[in-house]
């Protein structure tokens, strides 16, 4: 049977190209995929200028002479004036173990430091960290402490392949469209469609390339990850234009997106929409404008902190709070799957996907502090009781607290967070020479950088004094930064906002 074309002169050529492209054998494609997977992806840094220009290559070093940049096509090293730089994004191999922490310190100015709590006295806080050894932070610059973080329980980290993921076929939408056209008398494509469907298995809507999931067009990618009731989902999203990405959380299926139970988040043109899907019906939980989704951002770090206990969902973009849905309701039948549904046409990439069990608080510390008193220290316990008074010290697993002139002790394991009233002051603008180093795993530190070379960066911080950090701890360097907004992203002990101090919402 021959295809009969009526006013669709472009279709024969288009299908010829489609079928020709689909003739690559499965064995050949598998070989290519295996070769790509076995070859480590080169780590490429990116330098972004204030005028918007970008330069890819390797951030070699920094010293009094400025930034030294290596480009494969240019000899010798390039010397770049720091005054012309907006941000440097660095790709480094990160440690896979030993990065857990039990405390997050929020500093005046908005920086956050994660580590294991050693103690607090009238002068300083002491944290043990993998990236900078023992840090001593001046108490005068300390806003709050968030406690109770435990060793990460990682549910999924990757991707490393498509194994275990349910992938929809990329041409299914085209098939439906053409069948409708054929039913209307415009085409008789039976043989063409049958042949194309045979080749369709070699053209999935998603594929794995160089440590990332890459879309080949519209389609879904799903897996039952056994999402915990409190979880953190993080990933890098790269696309051209608007994301047009749907994310299904706690879905009770992986091979479809209709007739299921799930929370559905749609990241679209400058807006984020959240719906609660129950079988064949869908109810809006709310939408909000998101300026970062304006189509100009080619790469975003997306974070989703879900708490079924608190019935809340928080969206983070580039490690800052984008929106919080405080009441997402309940699903009549809850699953534990995660589904990505791409609805665009241009390529989209998802990488550095990490799903973990959340172990920290979700609530807004600002509101709690303002509701009681900003003139005294405030302690919130795990049962959400709050007490105000004076935190005298933290030592040997006990918080020494003065409550209405009466000294008491509270076990650290009973404390969720501590807010220190003395830090209620305007955030000073950092000096012109300061940079902000953003941790790959969570938080940031603002400092005057003296030297970046090899595996070490040195400098001086107003709250920590002279510092020495491992360069592998950081993912970017912001030049001439404004006062930081708390990222509120305990994105890991591996991977990270918020009116008192701009609503820090801790994600776990």
- Write the secondary structure of 98-131 as one string of H (helix), E (strand) and C (coil): CCCCCEEEEECCCCEEEEEEEEECCCEEEEEECC
- Band of pLDDT at residue 346, cut at 50, 70 and 90: confident
Q: Which residues pair with 112 in a beta bridge?
A: 106, 444
Dihedral, CA atoms, 242, 158, 306, 418, nearest 10 degrees?
A: -110
Q: Which residues pair with 394 in a beta bridge?
A: 120, 399
Q: How high does pLDDT run on average in the chain?
A: 79
Residue 182: phi and psi, rounded to 5, are: -65, -40
CA distance linking residue 127 with residue 461, whole number of Å: 15
pLDDT digits (tens, 9 = 90+) for 77-101: 999 999 999 999 898 877 766 777 8
460 to 233, 430, 431, 448, 502: CA distances (angstroms): 34, 12, 11, 5, 25
% of the chain surpassing 70 pLDDT: 73
Q: Do the beta carbons of residue 288 and residue 271 sit within 8 Å?
A: yes
Lowest-pLDDT range, 263-272, 399-408, 417-426?
417-426
CA distance linking residue 322 with residue 272, whole number of Å: 9
Judged by DSSP in three states, 70 sits in strand
- Band of pLDDT at residue 198, cut at 50, 70 and 90: low
% of the chain surpassing 90 pLDDT: 46
pLDDT at 485 over 80: no
- Band of pLDDT at residue 36, cut at 50, 70 and 90: very low
**Whether residue 76 has a cis bond before it, omega within 30° of 0:** yes
Token reading at 433: 């020479």
According to CATH, the topology of domain 45-89 is SH3 type barrels. (2.30.30)
CA distance linking residue 275 with residue 284, whole number of Å: 4
- DSSP code string of 375-444: SSEEEEETTS-EEEEEEEEEETTEEEEEETTEEEEEEGGGEEEEE-GGG-SPPPPPPTTEEEEEESSS-E
Sketch the domain layout of the chain as residue ranges. Answer: 1-28+169-203, 45-89, 103-152+363-479, 154-166+204-357
CA distance linking residue 338 with residue 485, whole number of Å: 30
Token reading at 401: 């607290």
Q: Give me the pLDDT at residue 12, please.
A: 43
- Band of pLDDT at residue 415, cut at 50, 70 and 90: very high
497 to 23, 266, 484: CA distances (angstroms): 50, 21, 10
pLDDT at 185 over 80: no
Query: How are beta strands 348-357 and 377-381 bridged, if at all?
Result: unpaired
pLDDT at 214 over 80: yes
Same fold flag, 45-89 and 154-166+204-357:
no
Token reading at 108: 């005046």
Q: Do the beta carbons of residue 435 and residue 479 sit within 8 Å?
A: yes
- DSSP code string of 217-262: SSEEEEEE----SEEEEEEEEEESS---EEEEEEES-SS-SSSEEE
pLDDT at 10 over 60: no
Report field, pTM of the whole predicted structure over 0.75? no
Burial class (CB in 10 A: 0-12, 13-18, 19+), 278: middle
CA distance linking residue 503 with residue 425, whole number of Å: 15
pLDDT digits (tens, 9 = 90+) for 459-474: 999 899 999 999 999 9
Residue among 504, 487, 397, 409 at smallest CA distance from 444: 487
Check residues 481 and 317 and name the one with the higher pLDDT. Answer: 317
pLDDT at 382 over 70: yes
Residue among 293, 306, 301, 291 at smallest CA distance from 267: 293
Tokens 């209307």 belong to 184
CA distance linking residue 484 with residue 202, whole number of Å: 47
CATH superfamily of domain region 154-166+204-357: Exo-inulinase; domain 1 (2.60.120.560)
CA distance linking residue 262 with residue 89, whole number of Å: 35
Q: Do the beta carbons of residue 245 and residue 237 sit within 8 Å?
A: yes
Residue among 447, 372, 384 at smallest CA distance from 414: 384
CA distance linking residue 129 with residue 147, whole number of Å: 15
Query: How are beta strands 103-107 and 112-120 bridged, if at all?
Result: antiparallel
Q: Give me the pLDDT at residue 182, please.
A: 56
């Amino acid at each position: 049977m021959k295809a009969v074309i009526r006013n669709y002169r472009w279709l024969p050529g288009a299908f010829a190209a489609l079928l020709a492209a689909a003739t690559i054998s499965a064995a050949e494609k598998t070989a290519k995929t295996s070769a790509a997977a076995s070859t480590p992806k080169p780590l490429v840094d990116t330098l972004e200028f204030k005028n918007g220009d970008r330069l890819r290559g390797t951030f070699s070093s920094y010293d009094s002479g400025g930034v030294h940049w290596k480009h494969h096509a240019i000899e010798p090293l390039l010397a770049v004036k720091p005054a012309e730089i907006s941000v440097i994004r660095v790709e480094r191999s990160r440690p896979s173990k030993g990065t857990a922490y039990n405390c997050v310190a929020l500093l005046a100015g908005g920086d956050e430091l994660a580590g294991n709590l050693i103690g607090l006295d009238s002068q300083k806080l002491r944290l043990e960290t993998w990236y900078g050894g023992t840090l001593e932070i001046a108490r005068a610059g300390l806003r709050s402490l968030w406690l109770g973080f435990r060793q990460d329980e990682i549910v999924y980290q990757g991707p490393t392949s498509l194994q275990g993921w349910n992938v929809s076929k990329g041409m299914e939408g085209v098939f439906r469209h053409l069948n409708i056209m054929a039913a209307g008398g415009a085409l008789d494509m039976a043989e063409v469609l049958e042949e194309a469907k045979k080749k369709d298995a070699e053209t999935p809507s998603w594929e794995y390339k160089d440590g990332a999931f890459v879309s080949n067009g519209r389609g879904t990618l799903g897996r039952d990850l056994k999402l915990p009731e409190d979880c953190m989902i993080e990933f890098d999203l790269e696309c051209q234009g608007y994301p047009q990405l749907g994310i299904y959380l706690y879905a009770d299926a992986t091979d479809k997106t209709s007739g299921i139970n799930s929370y559905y988040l749609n990241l679209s043109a400058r807006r984020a929409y959240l719906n609660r899907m129950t079988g064949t019906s869908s109810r809006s939980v709310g939408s909000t404008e998101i300026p970062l989704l304006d189509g100009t951002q080619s790469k975003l770090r997306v974070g989703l902190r879900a708490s079924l206990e608190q019935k809340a969902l928080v969206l983070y973009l580039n490690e800052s709070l984008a929106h919080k849905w405080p009441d997402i309701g309940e699903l009549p039948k809850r699953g534990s799957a995660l589904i990505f549904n791409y609805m665009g046409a241009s390529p989209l990439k998802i990488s550095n996907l990490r799903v973990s069990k959340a172990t920290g608080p979700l609530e807004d510390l600002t509101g709690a502090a303002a509701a009681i008193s900003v003139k005294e220290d405030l302690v919130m316990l795990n049962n959400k009781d709050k007490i105000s008074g004076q935190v005298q010290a933290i030592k040997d697993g006990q918080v020494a607290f003065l409550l209405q002139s009466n000294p008491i002790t509270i076990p650290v394991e009973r404390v969720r967070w501590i807010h220190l009233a003395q830090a209620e002051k305007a955030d000073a603008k950092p000096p012109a020479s300061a940079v902000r180093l953003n941790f790959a795993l969570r938080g940031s530190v603002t400092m005057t950088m003296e030297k970046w070379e090899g595996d070490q960066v040195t400098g001086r911080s107003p709250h920590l004094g002279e510092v020495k950090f491992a360069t592998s701890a950081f993912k970017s360097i912001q030049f001439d930064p404004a006062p930081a907004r708390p990222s509120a992203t305990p994105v890991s002990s591996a991977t990270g906002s918020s009116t008192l101090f701009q609503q820090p919402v801790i994600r776990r």
